[in-house]
Amino acid sequence: MFSLRFLFKFVVIGYPAVNNTYCELYYLFGQYGEYNLTVPSKQQNGTNGTKCGLVTVKEPTYADTGTLVFYGSVFFAFFVAAIWVHCIKRCTEKSLPINHNGSILSNGSQDDQTPLTFPASDKPKSSLRLRSVDTFRGLAITHLVLGTSGDGHFWYSNHARWYGITVADFMFPWFVFIMGTSIHLSFNILLSKGLSYCAIFKKIVFRSISLFIMGVCIQSHNDLRNLRIPGVLQRFGITYFIVASSYLLSRRLQARRAEKTGKCYMMFRDITDYLELPLAACCLVVHLCLTFLLPVPGCPLGYQGPGGPLVGENGELTNCTGGASGYIDRTFFTEAHLILVNTCDDVYRTIVRSDPEGILGTFTSIALCVFGLQSGKILHLFTTVRGRLVRLLLWGLALISCSAVLCKCSMADGWIPLNKNLWSVSFIALTGGTAFIVQALFHVLIDVTHFWNGAPLFYAGMNSILLYIGSEIMTPYLPFSWQPFVYNHTEYIILAAWSGFLWLVIAYIFYRRKIFLKL
């Protein structure tokens, strides 16, 4: 069996294998295909393997059929449901009396998240709880749940081996981005309720410690000798503590100053008077300095590759996996407390560990969370649709452009290649930029036009921690998964779809019963 993702090189040699190459060829195999390799009977001196051939005995099938059918059905169902709900709302709007300011007069109960008002201007309802933010969070957590179940075991639904980026690589960074957005919105709610800064800081400390401890517990079982310390929830906890604390300090300092009303200040009030953007800049500088200037024993300065015995000459990069990032993690945690299997192991045969949620990547994670915080400021401080969308799109396009420049739009030949394992600067710039654009799209569809109410992703976003922890613990058990019968992509995509459906149902039930896991 061969992977459908990689181009394979075949070299047929004689014995003894000294300048005795019979033939060589490159081939990309297809799903369920059967092939015969034709090898010439005599050595072809001076040739490059032109007489070596591969004959297809059984034509391969299209491997992505299951994915196209599944996601096509999901998008079609969402579109039909959104059209149906939109038509019902329009009919309801026409049948109810309207007062002089454009609001519908109704004595019926309403969903507290979706007010039944239709303003005549382009100014959306200024609310500290935006449904689009919860829906965006729901999109990220739903895909993380699908990824926990395998998501069809396609190469693009798994993390990139080392360089490059796949669909699965966007979800964790998007979740960090949304966490930053929620910091601004939730803190304004707490401050409006009269909570003191000290009380809010206690909440920050409690939530950060809780996330870190839960992350350590759910991923390491009970083996203290090989307890993995870095992890997803641990990264959330550390990032949240630093960004939330700096934002709280900014608000405290801002409250002591006189209120400004100048035109220039009002236009850029989401940037001025805050400490977070300088914090993000400092984190990026520290990340770059450590990546390119920290000497790693036995490795080239600034090395960012996977290392291993297959890279470089004479095994000179064998112990260089992750460059400075891997070296810092191995020095600080020791290898026993890092991730056991990395995504690059099966390709590069690496022998030293490098954790994708390690120390160095936390600096860029903080910067990404600050980008999300910036999104929250834009959605809250500016009331017009145009003001919000222009800023969101400008930030998104600027970050994507920076990423394109840094990686030179190539897989591994840029100054700073896209790398999820290292959380490189180009990686967080691309994921942050796309997050700004997705947030703008969701804001228009959900908060402004009310074309879509966010369901069912909205329900998942309201209980994201519960779904993540639940899927991490319960995925190996019935009814969330089963032992596959035929081990093909179709069954795996059905399994992932079933698991995702169950967790969405659970999220909906918890939402209706007002049960939310909050830290």
Residues labelled catalytic: 159
Specify whether the CB–CB gap between 140 and 171 falls below 8 A.
yes
Distance from C-alpha of 497 to C-alpha of 503, rounded to nearest angstrom: 10
| Cα–Cα distance list, 215 to 111, 138, 405, 457 (Å) | 34, 20, 35, 24
Specify whether the CB–CB gap between 286 and 363 falls below 8 A.
yes
Residue with the two structure tokens 């993690």: 329
Beta strands (DSSP E) in 69-185 are: none
Measuring CA to CA, which residue among 305, 309, 310, 338 is closest to residue 322? 305
Measuring CA to CA, which residue among 216, 203, 286, 181 is closest to residue 518? 203
Measuring CA to CA, which residue among 314, 290, 315, 287 is closest to residue 301? 290
Query: 53 has which bridge partners?
Result: 38
Burial 100-122 (b: 16+ CB within 10 A, else e): eeeebeeeeeeeeebebeeeeee
Q: How many CA atoms lie within 13 A of 30 on its CB side?
A: 15
Distance from C-alpha of 473 to C-alpha of 463, rounded to nearest angstrom: 16
Q: Which long-range contacts (CB under 8 A, 24 or more apart) does 264-268 make?
A: none
DSSP 12: E
Q: How many CA atoms lie within 13 A of 384 on its CB side?
A: 6
Give the phi and the psi of residue 57 in degrees, each rounded to 5: -85, -45
Distance from C-alpha of 382 to C-alpha of 372, rounded to nearest angstrom: 16
DSSP 108: S
